[in-house]
């Protein structure tokens, strides 16, 4: 989930290259709809700054619902201060990927949360 078309495309490309199929959404609300209707998913990659529903709010919504207890969450964001990272991890993100990132960084983050691309 990212409101940037470029990031959605870039992530899709990298994930596909890793053998991971993906669905994209341009904001949190659309993302939650995908989760409800098109799941189950193994991991949600979520941007922080999105319209209508921020990434943090989305994480909180997901973690409130026990139906998604299995779902790993990787925050992918330009927000890099410690407070943001701490907040995301406390809210239930499993890992945190800083923008800009490359394929190496994405793959190692996915490995850290138990996915082997």
Should residue 92 be labelled a site residue for another protein when binding is judged by CB under 8 A? no
Should residue 2 be labelled a site residue for another protein when binding is judged by CB under 8 A? no
CA distance 66 to 68: 5
Which distant-in-sequence residues (6+ apart) come within 8 Å of 23 by Cβ?
34, 38, 41
Should residue 95 be labelled a site residue for another protein when binding is judged by CB under 8 A? yes
Name the minimum Å distance from CB 16 to another protein.
Answer: 20
Choice between 32 and 109, CB closer to another protein: 109
> Binding residues for another protein, how many (CB under 8 A)?
22
Should residue 98 be labelled a site residue for another protein when binding is judged by CB under 8 A? yes
Should residue 115 be labelled a site residue for another protein when binding is judged by CB under 8 A? no
CA distance 1 to 50: 9
* Residues in region 65-84 near another protein by CB under 8 A: 80-82
Instruction: Note whether 74 and 46 are within 8 A (CB).
Output: yes
Where on the chain is the footprint of another protein (CB under 8 A)? 80-82, 85-86, 89, 93, 95-102, 104-106, 108-109, 111-112
């Amino acid at each position: 989930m990212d409101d940037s078309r470029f990031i959605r495309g870039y992530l899709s490309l990298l994930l596909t290259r890793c053998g991971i199929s993906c669905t994209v959404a341009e904001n949190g609300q659309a993302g939650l709809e995908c989760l409800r209707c098109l799941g189950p998913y193994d991991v949600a990659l979520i941007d922080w700054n999105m319209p209508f529903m921020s990434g943090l709010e989305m994480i909180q919504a997901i973690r409130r619902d026990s139906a998604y207890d299995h779902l790993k969450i990787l925050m992918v964001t330009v927000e890099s201060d410690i407070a943001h990272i701490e907040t995301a991890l406390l809210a239930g993100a499993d890992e945190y990927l800083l923008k800009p990132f490359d394929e190496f960084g994405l793959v190692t983050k996915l490995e850290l949360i138990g996915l082997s691309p």
